[in-house]
Structure 1
Amino acid sequence: MNPIIRKYRDSTGYVFHIINLTFLLSLWTACTIILFVHKPAEISKSMVTVLPNRTTFRNVKLKQDAVGIQLNGAINTYLTNHRVRTSNFSAVGVRLEWRDRGMNRSLLRTGMWMVYMYMDKKKYLQVQRVFQFSISGWHHERSLIQRSLQTDRNLENSSYDWVFAQTVISFESMSKHPVGLLLTVDNTPLDPGMSVVYAAILIVGLYAMIIWDFSDRTLCTLLITALSLALLAVLGSRPDLETIVSWVDWETMMILLGNMIMTSCMADTGLFDYLAVVAYRISKGHAWLLIALLGVLVSMASTFVDNATVVLLFCPPVIRLCEAMGLRTTLVLIIVAIYANIGGSITPIGGPPNTIIMTNKMVESAGMNFVRFSFLMLPTALICLASTFGLIYWTMGKKIYVLDDNQVELAAKRRENIRPSFDIQLRIAELRRQPRSRVLPPAEGYFTILATLEASNWVRKKMLLVQSFLALGFAVFCFILQSIPWAIPGASLGWISMLAAFLLLILIDQKNLAKVMARVDWGTLMLLASLFVLTAVVDALGLIHWIGLMVVSLIVRVDESYQTMVGMLLILWLSSLLSAFIHNAAVAPIMVKLCTDMVVHDEVQIRLLPLIWATSMGTSYGANGTLLGSLANEFVAVVGRAHGYKITFRGFFVVGFRIMLFTVVVCSIFLIIAHSIFAWH
């Protein structure tokens, strides 16, 4: 390279490094100062007991014209959120009022919020609402009283009462039994106007930091999450540490941690290297048949193991195969990531988005379980796996053999260090003596490559492999049993995954767990935890609610009989496009919250499970759109970079985005057929 050009690139890189460092330090400084100065918001909690046919009052300090009220108890959330008017259920009418000093007369009050109750007191659910007074109405009412003083002296006391009025929350009983509620009052609820803009800026900021590679993706996400908490602090609603921890979906974290422990142990067996060699042996060295077999292996493994971990374990042998066969390594790695995302869509444990969706309490209560989820997702996955291979072969049939200068140079250096041993030469001769198939003759160089790969890729620890399959089989068996309500009612996906990991650790009799735990990808777990917190902040700022209103405004324009269909298609395309450009693990909790908000909206008549079905497809197949779509895509880029192959954003986009559009169209057609013809919902 020209020394002048090299010097220019070095100086430019140094300048960008200084800019990145200055920006990150500025962001850190702002978060530090704000979080040090602002205390957590004061949120008062108290128990309220409402006696039959009585009204109970709770004083509230009004700092602005709005108050956030959260109630916990044996609450029928469906009837309450749908604002249903019925007399068949016990209820409590809640409203915000200004009352005179003697609490005898209501001077100004909001509309009544009907909170319906279950008779089963063991239930413990939560609802919330923001009440807002109209300041203009307050001034109008006061001016009327003062004007009336000129004609009626009896109103003098009324005016006096108005000046000393107090703000209260009234609970009016409409039940024959006492009702107990846990009341949480937020005196400074967020303004839904600018908060939506702030939330959008946070999402765009995160995307910009990742796309321009300011720093590690996990660090960028943590900084943006800290900035979001600082923003809440500035707006007067900084949460305490207990609230922040409660925002993390620990069920999802347990599933991923259990899977990571099991797969880290399985990696020592050499199983994935051996499977890659078996695929090469079956393909007889033919490139596209090998790619098809690798796609099948990766997608099958991603069904029962986290797809990001599968990619991490499969990519090294795939790179060795590509180098030996002269295939374009970056392109094959992208194809592996695409198949991992499709295969991971089948089960709730195949990827973080499905895990997040399945562990949502409302989704579980709606009747979704492991078997039902897999049954719904399997048909589209099989169709997309087959059709995606056809699309890739049609568009990139010859490009797979076109190597860039970087790969040619790397392959030449590695071939210089390879000297076939005597055992490998004997194996080559043995392979040549074996009878050959006339249907599929071996490709050029097949025997040499196969003998070389067999020499270094085999199952090294067979007993560990058996133990790993026992633990994995226990997990899968319990996942299926968990779908039967009466079989193991106390089991959850997270505990099953962790107990399977414990079983494997007991079987292998590992004296030093530090080695096993060191191979767990803690950075990924930190990334997901920060995304959960960021999603909760975005929800608190009102962005999800605003998106839901936009979607509802489109749905209400169609006939009620078509609302479910339109809702599914809107959710499918919205979640897929967001997953392509943000991160499907971040999009999944946002879309689940959006779906639950839409279901309880009183202007649409849509069930939850069809929307969840569309969300699962959208987040899984939308991840194929760009390099930022999923953890599997990121791990492919990381492993490729470690071996000298750089997968760029543009390179992945050219291949993946068209496949994403194609598979989402397939999912749209399937949803239309399943809903309108077979009435799956």
Structure 2
Amino acid sequence: MNDWHGWAAVAVFAGAYALIISERVHRVAAALGGAALMLAIGATDDEAAFYSQRTGIDWNVIFLLLGMMMIVGVLKKTGMFEYLAIWAVKRARGRPFRVLAMLIVITSAASALLDNVTTVLLIAPVTLLVCERLALPAAPFLIAEVFASNIGGTATLVGDPPNIIVASRAGLTFNDFIVHLTPLAAVLTLVLIVLCRVMFRDAFVYDEKRAAEVMALEEREAIRDRRLLVQGLIVLGLVVAGFVLHPVLHYEPSVVALLGAGLLVAVSSVGTGDVLSDVEWPTLAFFAGLFVMIGGLIGTGVVGDVSQALAEAIGRRELGGSMLMLGGSAVLSGVIDNIPYVATMAPVTADLVRSMGGGSDHVMWWALTLGADLGGNATAIGASANVVVLGIAERNRTPIGFWQFTKYGLVVTAVTVALSGVYVWLRYFALA
């Protein structure tokens, strides 16, 4: 930080973050207010905030969310989510913990193939309906799914946006992620199920009458518009294929989502106004404000200074460096969005790897990826999926508070990051 702008940017970000934590001011108001102050003090400007890929609003994230929210809004009108909710409850025999375990596994697996934001947009409506049918509190189930989405997102190149940044900088392939991170993600998913059994034990109250009522339902009767369902599923399948084929087609996920949303609105009988009414506009506004605030920290050199300090602390010590990279990235990604953090840290990591002579099987890159992805579970605003689910919960009158989420997130992050450290040590040093 070379001038007062850096310290002022830190003060603005800290103040907005404090307001979000305190919940005295709505998080959207705090984020937009913080963004306005960043512009007012000159920590960023209109060009940096709205047009810069490095310091501005990540429009790819905004439009990915917009497109998928529109598709989900159409699918809601078909009865598909009610069908899936009844199906899930019947397969779990109405037992709450079995339902949670099933949803965690499905969410984690889907997040490896899709991005984690898309996954929670599809899973959250099902979860809300399951909890309504079984008279269960929705918050523990939604929180657990966020954790699962961020853990599952570490498994593949397309699972989380930071992975794409790392792959591009380090020259890693889809198969590299499968070989190095998918086994760990699978183990961490199982660990998450155990943790949730302990953390949310009071939520698993079995209501025999409610369960029997759901077991007596015929899920096919929940479908209200079969033609619209077929149209929606075809478009959703094309969108998923577009996500998976990103390395071949080179279409950004945001473009794929918008094309899918536009196609579905064009071919279906659902009115445009009805589709847009289901969009979580406050969530999109929150992201915009958050991106502008983080852009102010990047533009004034605050994030760069932190990254450089981390690099200097690591030096040429590969084992200690990888552990510091893992832990440091987890802490920072719990506070600021992991996308700009990884974008800033990637060139620093590349220099570290070169100074170490190439590194042991890309260990520094894997440490950065694991820290950034898993650290997103630490706080309610640590990752995009977290913010999206909080918005959905609030819209459905089951609000999840900052500390309600974070007190569990810190536990999950501490355990998963610690196990990741053991994995990194064993695979790349002790057994190498």
Distance 1:198 1:456, change over 3 A: farther
CA 1:227 to 1:633, structure 2 compared with 1: closer, same or farther past 3 Å? same
> Aligned residue for 2:72?
263
For 2:409, the aligned partner's letter is G
**Residue of 259, 262, 265 corresponding to 1:499:** 259
Q: C-alpha deviations, 1:401-448, integer Å up to 9, x for none?
A: 57xxxxxxxxxxxxxxxxxxxxxxxxxxxxxxxxxxxxxxx9843663
Of residues 186, 204, 229, the one that matches 1:382 is: 186
Pick from 574, 578, 592: which aligns with 2:332? 578
Partner residue in 2 for 1:228: 38
| Residue 205 of structure 1: aligned partner | 15
Are positions 1:587 and 2:391 aligned together?
no
Report the AA paired with residue 254 of structure 1: F
Amino acid at match of 1:669: V
Aligned to 2:214: 450
Give me the whole-angstrom Cα distance separating, in 2, the residues matched to 1:206 and 1:514: 33
Task: Measure, in 1, the Cα distance between the counterparts of 2:221 and 2:46.
Answer: 52
The alpha carbon displacement at 1:205 in A equals 1.4
Q: 2:322–2:367: 8 Å Cα contact kept in structure 1?
A: yes
**Aligned counterpart, 1:476:** 240
Query: Residue 320 in 1 paired to residue 132 in 2?
Result: yes
Structure 2 segments unaligned to the other structure (5+ residues): none
TM alignment of 1:304-315, pairs within 5 A: 304=114, 306-315=118-127
Kept in 2, the 8 Å contact 1:298–1:311? The answer is yes
* Aligned partner of 2:273 among 507, 514, 518: 514
Q: Look up the match of 1:417.
A: none
Give TM-score scaled by structure 2 length. Answer: 0.82
Q: Deviations over 1:303-362 (max 9, x none)?
A: 426244235423421321341xxx454433432333333334445665xxx23552x5x8
- State which of 295, 301, 304 in structure 2 corresponds to 1:536: 295
Alignment correspondent of 2:203? 400
Q: Which residue of 1 aligns with 2:223?
A: 459
For residues 244 and 367 of structure 1, do their structure 2 counterparts lie closer, same or farther at Cα, with a shift above 3 Å needed?
Answer: same
Give runs of aligned pairs for residues 588-627 of structure 1, distance below 5 A: 588-600=339-351, 604-605=355-356, 611-627=364-380
CA distance in 1, matches of 2:353, 2:210: 65
Alignment of 1:625-644 (within 5 A): 625-637=378-390, 640=393
Q: Distance in 2 between matches of 1:645 and 1:256?
A: 21
**Partners of 1:328 and 1:493 in 2: CA distance:** 33
**Amino acid corresponding to residue 345 of structure 2 in structure 1:** L
| Offset, 1:255 | 2.8
Instruction: Report the CA distance between 1:659 and its aligned residue.
Output: 1.8
* Alpha-carbon distance between aligned partners in 1 of 2:221 and 2:424, rounded to the nearest angstrom: 43
Change in CA separation of 1:598 and 1:387 when aligned onto 2, cut-off 3 Å = closer
> How many residue pairs are counted as aligned between the two chains?
424
Could you tell me how far apart the structure 2 residues matched to 1:528 and 1:644 are? Answer: 21
Distance 2:57 2:391 in 1: 26
Check whether the contact 2:89–2:215 (CA below 8 A) recurs between aligned residues: no
Work out which of the residue numbers 413, 425, 431 in structure 2 matches 1:672: 425
Larger radius of gyration: 1
Unaligned runs of 5+ in 1: 1-190, 403-441
Kept in 2: contact 1:624–1:656 (CA 8 A) = yes
Q: Which has the higher contact order (CA 8 A, sep 6+)?
A: 2
* Paired position in structure 1 for 2:92: 283
- Listed as ranges, the matches of 1:80-479 within 5 Å are 192=2, 194-232=4-42, 239-241=45-47, 244-246=50-52, 247-303=56-112, 304=114, 306-323=118-135, 327-346=136-155, 354-355=160-161, 358=164, 360=165, 364=168, 366-368=170-172, 373=177, 376-394=180-198, 396-397=200-201, 399-401=202-204, 444-445=208-209, 448-450=212-214, 454=218, 458-479=222-243
SS of the equivalent of 1:318 reads: helix
SS of 1:551's partner is: helix
- Aligned residues of 2:154 and 2:373 also touching (Cα < 8 A): yes
Residues 141-184 of structure 1, C-alpha deviations (whole Å, 9 max, x = no match): xxxxxxxxxxxxxxxxxxxxxxxxxxxxxxxxxxxxxxxxxxxx
What is the distance in 2 between the residues matched to 1:295 and 1:519?
25
Greater per-residue strand proportion:
1
Aligned residue for 1:576, secondary structure, equals helix
Distance 2:48 2:3 in 1: 27
Give distance in 1, aligned partners of 2:214 and 2:153: 30
Give the AA of the match of 1:391.
L
1:80 matched residue in structure 2: none
Q: Normalised by the size of structure 1, how large is the TM-score? A: 0.55
CA, structure 1 residues 499+650, in 2 after alignment: closer, same or farther (shift >3 Å)? closer
**Contact kept? 2:21, 2:403, Cα under 8 Å:** no
CA distance in 1, matches of 2:239, 2:398: 36
TM-superposed deviation, 1:540: 2.0
Q: 1:257, 1:642 → 2: CA distance?
A: 16
More helix by share: 2
**AA paired with 1:475?**
V
Aligned partner of residue 445 in structure 1, secondary structure: helix
| Residues 630-653 of structure 1: per-residue CA shift (max 9 Å, x gap) | 454445555555666554444434
Matched residues in 1 for 2:310 and 2:242: separation?
Answer: 38
Residue in structure 2 matched with residue 170 of structure 1 by the alignment: none
Partner SS state of residue 51, structure 2:
helix
**Any conservation in 2 of the 1:552–1:604 contact (CA below 8 Å)?**
no
